[in-house]
Amino acid sequence: MGGIGILGTGSYLPEQVMSNEVVGARAGVSAEWIERKTGIVERRYAAGHEAASDLAVEAAVRALDDSGTDAADLAWIVVATSTPDHPQPATAAFVQHRLGAYGAAAFDVNAVCSGFIAALHTGAGLLAVPGSDGGRRRALVIGSEVYSRIIDPADRRTAPLFGDGAGAVVLGSVTEGRGLVGTAMRTDGHLHALIGVTAGGSRKPASAKTVDRGDHFFRMQGREVRDFVVRELPDVVAGTLAAFGVPADEVDHFVPHQANGEMLRGVLGGLGLTSARTHLPVDRHGNTGAASIPLALDHACRQGAVTDDETVLLAGFGGGMTTGAVLLRWGR
């Protein structure tokens, strides 16, 4: 994947701000409890007319503009989401249509909160295959989620954590020595029951009975998920850096999945990233699933925090259970 990097970033957060006071009242916890346990102050909820593709398009337009890319020049559109517009067709098809990117192949990826890592790996890999892009040397990779539609507002384990949003990047050719250094992903499928929505698929189709039981809501075993992250995040970070020969103290920026600010702060000390600036805007948008890494990356880029030739490490973890990382040498 040498010579393929991020040319531009973009993000979008819905207008409706949901405070800890409002969310906490529904979940039976205080605003102070939410902030102390999660580091989250507020999150955004999509408007009634907004679906995952609408958020994705807003982020995509910003990323295309930032990279100077016309939608007609895209070869691929890869959307990471676990809250698609519909079970089918792919949310990416709606994004392609709205952007007018009819020369691009468009499809979805679902690795839950690791989805953006999987989508970035996929988009870069497709561009690396000679001739597969039809001469259009750019790919649009998006993470977009509308978790407010699948969260039980009375569930204190999930409702305080999750919000809606989208982030996007444009991939393309960069100068030699810059771009993606490498990626890593793995799945521990024996832990699949820790996170999920049990109804609405082919195993348990949606029905009045499943709705009455709340099986259409997102559920998470919080303590077990925390144990997984504490155990696996250091391993995936160390393994990725070792695989590509980059010492931990040479990482300049660390952008993790924005799951829970307090949990992440508790893990950071064991990662060995002594020189890295960790980007954690989770306090203002909460856990936005597959959107959280590109949201945080765009936030850092818009602040001018990331400069050419710096080393950037992205790391995700989520349902499945999945973990993954992307290592980049920044520069367009």
Report, as residue numbers or ranges, the catalytic residues: 113, 257, 287
C-alpha 108/C-alpha 103 separation (Å) is 17
CA neighbor of 34 nearest in space, from 205, 286, 281: 286
- Helix, strand, coil shares, percent, the chain, to 5: 40, 25, 35
C-alpha 38/C-alpha 262 separation (Å) is 5
Backbone angles phi, psi at 133, to 5 degrees: -95, 5
Helix 52-67 vs helix 91-99: crossing angle, to nearest 10: 50
CA distances from residue 311 to 134, 168, 283, 301, 331 in whole angstroms, order as listed? 30, 19, 24, 13, 10
> Strand 277-278 to strand 253-256: parallel, antiparallel, or no bridges (unpaired)?
parallel
Kind and range of the H or E element at 220?
strand 219-220
Helix 261-268 vs helix 31-38: crossing angle, to nearest 10: 30
C-alpha 114/C-alpha 320 separation (Å) is 9
CA neighbor of 55 nearest in space, from 148, 158, 136: 148
**Residue 316 near residue 113 (C-beta atoms within 8 A):** yes
Half-sphere exposure of 109 (CA within 13 A, CB side): 24
Backbone angles phi, psi at 20, to 5 degrees: -65, -35
**Residue 124 near residue 169 (C-beta atoms within 8 A):** no
